Amino acid sequence: MEPEINSKRLKTLLDGINAFGRVKHGGFNRTGFSDADMAVRDWFAREMEADGLIVGRDGANSVFGRYGSADAPAIMVGSHLDTVVSGGAFDGALGVAVALECVRAMKEAGFAPAHPIEVAATSEEEGRFGGMLGSQTIAGLVTRDWLESAADADGVLLTDAMRAQGLEPKAILSSARPKGSVRAFLELHIEQGPVLEREAIAIGLPEGATGIVNLHVRLTGIANHSGTTPMDMRADAFAGLAEIAVQIPDMIAASGSDDARITIGKVELVPNHPHTIPGEAVFTVIIRDAREDVMRGLQARITEVAGAVARKHGLSLYIEENSFIAPVAFDASLIDMLEAEARRLGLPARRMISGAGHDAQTMTALCPSAMIFVPSRNGISHAPEEHSDWADIEKGAQLMLAALIRLSAG
């Protein structure tokens, strides 16, 4: 008997997860270390115990359920159970539910894996405290300094939030999995973008996740009366900003790639008054691409353009790199295997790049990792409207099951 995904059982499991943190007017609140987040983990652990898995937790309160040998290196599969505030029903929860359904399907068919399979429900992926705590803990990337200083947007310390739930934060520092103890990590996740839906393809295979350069830019001109200052005698900081912004498509065309994105998402004008020429424009520029050399090329290009625009408008320019997150490549042979399995199952799949952050990219620090994306309706995520069609979810789950059978067969 071949293991097969039981769609009804999978849906019941996802509904079970989403019984926790449900908000009356729509959406779900299971932010990291909230009461709902704690409760869903207890429930999920009990589900896995009832399935006869070897269930445990680590210092970050990620929950694990192992099918097969207790100590041999495992193939880990899963995603996160926490949500953003007013999050949707699929982000994270779907990947956890699919992981356990794959194991249930194997058990039901009497399939005994040569390499154990470990279902993982990671904690605090959505970054309430500014990281991806669950997968960073597994991969051994959490430092003592960060752990002690991490706080949420309301100033609540991570250590206090954990202690309030009876958890000891220091346990995080001794929860790293040893190198070699995880053979591979696979994560099914919703795309959170519009590409798969637009192309009517059920499965996306991310080759990597984009990196991020965060630039802080200030253009300084002269604030002055909007009526008395002739147009040719102004040093208008907003005019400079606008001229930079309008050149973004050309910069991408000249120095970017299909995956490149440049966004000016936060702008402050000084003094920001209708009758005053803006004397200062302070703004962010976020550059994303899947390749570091492309990101650096775009950074050089925007610096050059901003310099030329500043000279033209009589402005002074200050530009500083706030942060840099390197792009991550998923494991090429895992992607090839997923693509081959999709072809064998007759499931149309498309390689792509993930524009959002996921546990799988953190896990590349520990073991070969890869992902399966399923389409998001209208590309919407992190909102109550988040939705994926059940027909697509079934295809993604079938592919995950096939991949786990391949990887665990020895």
3 state SS of 150: coil
Q: Closest separation between CB of residue 48 and Zn ion, Å?
A: 20
The nearer residue to Zn ion, 121 or 264, going by C-beta atoms, is 121
Binding of residue 394 to Zn ion (CB under 5 A): no
- The maximal CA–CA distance of the chain, rounded, in angstroms, is 85
Using the rule CB under 5 A, give the single segment among 19-27, 87-95, 208-216, 317-325 that binds Zn ion.
Answer: 87-95
Q: Closest separation between CB of residue 350 and Zn ion, Å?
A: 20
Q: Closest separation between CB of residue 153 and Zn ion, Å?
A: 18
The nearer residue to Zn ion, 92 or 355, going by C-beta atoms, is 92
Q: Closest separation between CB of residue 232 and Zn ion, Å?
A: 52
Strand 316-325 relative to strand 211-220, pairing: antiparallel
Tokens read off for 326: 């390197």
Q: Is 324 exposed, middle or buried (0-12, 13-18, 19+ CB in 10 A)?
A: middle
Using the rule CB under 5 A, give the single segment among 19-27, 91-99, 169-177, 309-317 that binds Zn ion.
Answer: 91-99
Pick the closest to residue 352 from 187, 185, 191 (CA basis): 191
Binding of residue 87 to Zn ion (CB under 5 A): no
The nearer residue to Zn ion, 133 or 294, going by C-beta atoms, is 133
Q: Closest separation between CB of residue 192 and Zn ion, Å?
A: 7
The nearer residue to Zn ion, 255 or 381, going by C-beta atoms, is 381
HSE-up of 147 (CA within 13 Å, CB side)? Answer: 20
3 state SS of 281: strand
Footprint of Zn ion on 92-121 (CB under 5 A): 92
Crossing angle for the helix pair 7-17 and 93-108, to the nearest 10 degrees: 140
Tokens read off for 378: 């209208």
Neighbours of 283 (CB within 10 A): 20
Using the rule CB under 5 A, give the single segment among 55-63, 88-96, 163-171, 218-226 that binds Zn ion.
Answer: 88-96
Binding of residue 191 to Zn ion (CB under 5 A): no
The nearer residue to Zn ion, 78 or 92, going by C-beta atoms, is 92
Binding of residue 91 to Zn ion (CB under 5 A): yes
Say if CB 5 and CB 103 are below 8 A apart.
no
The nearer residue to Zn ion, 80 or 301, going by C-beta atoms, is 80
Report the alpha-carbon distance of residue 244 to residue 371 in Å, rounded: 36
Binding site for Zn ion (CB under 5 A): 91-92
